């Protein structure tokens, strides 16, 4: 568990450094809703920015329909971030995505808004969710070469979130963490021989 935290926190620190240029150089879209169908195989989706380039990164149809595939052939880590112009008055956010793992290495996905963060990890056959500033709680298991639908519903007012995987709620009112990262969506893989595919990714906001 401590190793997982160290690896992910190191990645977050590096993202802060590299993302500052990305934030100032890119105009954030008003919404994020991506199925990667418009991209050619092998191309890098323009909605993301590679902070730590990996050996594997680009759009592929290898796992069915087109998806964003990232990973490492040898030990290392790769991070990719996206900016979204979220309503500053938003009271709730919903992150939705599909994920497929090819191995048991660590893959992390984080949703960040105004420092409020929700983190979901697939590692070693298990699924873990952040609870508070440092803890990760086991919430399920996964099989490789299988697609999973993940939905995180974030209450920005009370700083809690629910996590739903394949229509089953696995986390209820988990406490968010706080990370000083100027991106809204972060995906990354860590370790060797580790590849993850992402599809049907979206971020939706709601305000009262």
Whether residue 198 has pLDDT greater than 50:
yes
Using DSSP's 3-state secondary structure scheme, residue 20 falls into helix
Task: Give yes or no for a contact between 181 and 111, defined as CB atoms under 8 angstroms apart.
Answer: no
Q: Render pLDDT for 159-176 as a digit per residue (tens, 0 to 9).
A: 999 999 999 999 999 999
Binned at pLDDT 50, 70 and 90, residue 83 comes out as: confident
pLDDT higher than 70, residue 180: yes
Q: What is the pLDDT of residue 120?
A: 95
pLDDT at 10 over 50: no
Q: Which domains are delineated in the chain?
A: 2-206 (2.60.120.200)
Q: Give the pair of three-digit tokens for residue 32.
A: 């994020």
Residue 30's pLDDT is what?
A: 55
* pTM for the structure as a whole: 0.86
Q: In whole angstroms, give the CA distance from residue 182 to residue 44.
A: 21
Give the residue carrying structure tokens 């112009």. 85
The answer to whether the beta carbons of residues 196 and 70 sit under 8 Å apart is yes
What is the pLDDT at residue 191?
78
- Of residues 74 and 66, more confidence is placed in 66
């Amino acid at each position: 568990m401590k190793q997982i935290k160290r690896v992910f926190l190191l990645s977050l620190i590096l993202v802060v450094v590299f993302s500052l240029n990305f934030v100032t150089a890119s105009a954030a879209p008003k919404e994020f809703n991506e199925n990667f169908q418009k991209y050619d195989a092998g191309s890098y989706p323009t909605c993301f920015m590679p902070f730590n380039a990996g050996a594997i990164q680009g759009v592929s149809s290898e796992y069915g329909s087109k998806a964003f595939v990232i990973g490492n052939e040898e030990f290392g880590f790769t991070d990719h971030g996206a900016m979204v112009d979220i309503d500053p008055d938003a009271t709730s956010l919903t992150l939705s995505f599909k994920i497929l793992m090819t191995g048991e290495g660590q893959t992390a996905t984080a949703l960040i808004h105004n420092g409020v963060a929700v983190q979901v990890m697939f590692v070693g056959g298990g699924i873990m969710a952040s609870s508070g500033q440092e803890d990760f709680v086991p919430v399920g298991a996964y099989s490789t070469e299988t697609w999973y639908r993940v939905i995180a519903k974030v209450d920005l007012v009370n700083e809690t979130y629910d996590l739903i995987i394949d229509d089953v709620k696995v986390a209820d009112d988990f406490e968010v963490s706080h990370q000083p990262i100027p991106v809204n969506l972060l995906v990354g893989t860590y370790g060797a021989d580790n590849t993850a595919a992402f599809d049907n990714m979206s971020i939706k906001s709601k305000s009262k």
